[in-house]
Amino acid sequence: MARPFSKAEAETFFARLKKAMPEPRTELVYVNPYTLLVAVVLSAQATDRGVNKATAELFKVADTPAKMVALGERGLTHYIKTIGLYRGKAKNVIALSRLLLEHHAGEVPRDREALESLPGVGRKTANVVLNVAFGEKTIAVDTHIFRVANRTGLAPGKDPRAVEDGLMKKVPDAYLLHAHHWLILHGRYTCVARKPHCPVCVVRDLCRFPDKTRVEDEAPKIRTPAAATPGAGARRRGS
């Protein structure tokens, strides 16, 4: 087993990610906590880009639970049918919108238990909403974070919950609020699943991955994380 990260190493790890991506944000586009919640529910097993394409038109007509319920399942399906598993997601979005109206005055609750009781909302989605909409220090472990945490040795774990718990202990408090976005963007653009871009990785000297890509293996093609570029990644429409 790889040597665990020391406090100083974890500090350096996040300081470097912060320097590389000073303003990390979600790549999902939303206009208020409700549309963020809907976008995250729609993003399960789908790309943020695909979700944004669908919600660009959807949120023009339904950016509140009341408008979504008025649109109805069929109406909603029309907007999201390009997204995987759209039938089930449409059912969940309408059902959760009804529950928000019935139990939370049409507002998204700032409460994990209440969030997780909504259809289609699990721990990961609740963590994203608590972090992005309400500024809470949570880490939503998706496929990218799971890979980066295990590969680097920062917070190894068999399942997302184990990784989340490990990260909550390992990430220095000063970086906790944005850790989730730094790790996602790092996994999405640098520590990619196949042939990670190790030669240009800012944390390669700290990373414990034994099979790092070598310079001679391939000239890395790096995509730019729009959300990490100051001024180029405003996610909230109209902001």
CA-CA distance, 82 to 91, in Å (whole number)?
A: 15
Handedness of CA 43, 233, 164, 193 (dihedral sign): positive
Q: Which of 124, 137, 170, 212 is catalytic?
A: 124
- Taking the complex as a whole, the smallest distance from the CB of residue 23 to ligand SF4 amounts, in Å, to 21
Comparing CB distances to ligand SF4, the nearer of 153 and 160 is 153
Active-site pick, 91, 142, 159, 170: 142
* HEC-encoded secondary structure of 56-118: HHHHHHCCCHHHHHHHHHHHHHHHHCCCCCHHHHHHHHHHHHHHHHHHCCCCCCCCHHHHHCC
Hey, how many other C-beta atoms are within 10 angstroms of the C-beta on 219?
A: 10
Residue 159 designated active-site: no
CB of 205 to ligand SF4, least distance (A): 8
Structure tokens at 94: 């309408």
CA distance 33 to 27: 15
Q: Closest approach of Cβ 187 to ligand SF4, in Å?
A: 8
Q: How far is the CB of 162 from ligand SF4 (least distance, A)?
A: 19
For the chain, give the number of residues.
239
Identity of the residue, 196 or 233, whose beta carbon is nearer to ligand SF4 in the bound complex: 196
Distance CA 106, CA 96 (A): 10
- Which residues make up the interface to ligand SF4 (CB under 6 A)? 151-152, 190-191, 196-198, 201, 203-204, 207, 209, 212
Could you tell me if 62 and 39 are in contact, meaning their C-beta atoms sit under 8 angstroms apart?
Answer: no
Beta bridge partners of 236: 30
* Residue 208: CA count within 13 A, CB half-sphere: 17
Task: Give the shortest CB-163-to-ligand SF4 separation in angstroms.
Answer: 15
Nearer Cβ to ligand SF4 (39/198) = 198
* Positive/negative CA dihedral, 59, 56, 126, 168: negative
Q: Please, which residue, 173 or 205, has the CB nearer to ligand SF4? A: 205
Residue 158 annotated among the catalytic residues of the structure? no
Residues serving a catalytic function are: 124, 142
